[in-house]
Structure 1
Amino acid sequence: MLNPFASATREDVMCTVRVVNTFENLAAHVELDDGVTVEPGDEVLVHGKPIIVPFGESAIERRKATITRATWLERKWTKMTGDLEFMELLEFSFSGEELS
């Protein structure tokens, strides 16, 4: 069994960053090279200056990224508590108006 208290490991990889700023879409997406996958609890830091894209345009840049791998204990904790935290992503609104 893996040591649950082992320190986190770091891995540097190249990545492609795509940023879109249009009326239909405001998005940023990172694709890691060489089929590298990110597991629950891992953190990815993309290096470099912020990518600023004017309205109506998109940009693609190559950057270096550092992946900090979660320890065994962090990974288990993330899996156990992840289902509880999804509620933070929801936005609720209540009003006094009746639905028609």
Structure 2
Amino acid sequence: MSLGLLSRLTGGRRFEVPCTIDIEQTFDSLHAHAIPEGVQLRPGDRVLVHGLPNHVAPGATMRFEARATVIRAGWLERAWTEASAILELTELYHCGFEPKEAP
């Protein structure tokens, strides 16, 4: 099996990209978004962000630039990620409605 075919199946290709980080810890919102620039992420890809703060004060909003390493998923990992996402989505369909009991 050639190295090119093996890497397409298993992935693992790494490269660095600039990344915009948006962190908010306020009464209205608690979120952290890392947006890699110049790359289209696919199912199963992983992003490691470098240089993040280890603490965000309550009530703070931060937006800054950093570097991120993107680790590409191979064909097998992408297929597994897509299949498991579909199976997990079906769990959202499972909901029960019970009739109100008469007084």
Give TM-score scaled by structure 1 length. Answer: 0.73
8 A contact 2:10–2:77 mirrored in 1: no
Q: Which moved more, 1:75-84 or 1:65-74?
A: 75-84
* Structure 2 match to 1:17: 21
Q: For residue 50 of structure 1, what is the amino acid of its counterpart?
A: P
* Number of residue pairs aligned between Structure 1 and Structure 2: 89
Unaligned runs of 5+ in 1: 90-97
Q: Which has the higher Rg, Structure 1 or Structure 2?
A: 2
Higher strand residue share:
2
**Paired position in structure 2 for 1:64:** 67
Q: Residue 13 of structure 1: SS of its match in structure 2?
A: strand
C-alpha deviation, 1:81, in angstroms: 1.5
Q: CA deviation at 1:46?
A: 0.3
* Counterpart Cα distance in 2 of 1:44 and 1:58: 22
Higher helix share: 2
Deviation at 1:5?
Answer: 3.2
Which of the residues 33, 36, 58 maps onto 1:29? Answer: 33
Runs (4 or more) in structure 1 with deviation over 4 Å come to 86-89
CA-based RMSD: 2.5
1:46 aligns with 2:49: yes
Partner of 2:9: 5
* 1:22–1:7 Cα change, 3 Å: closer
How far apart are residue 52 of structure 1 and its match? 2.1
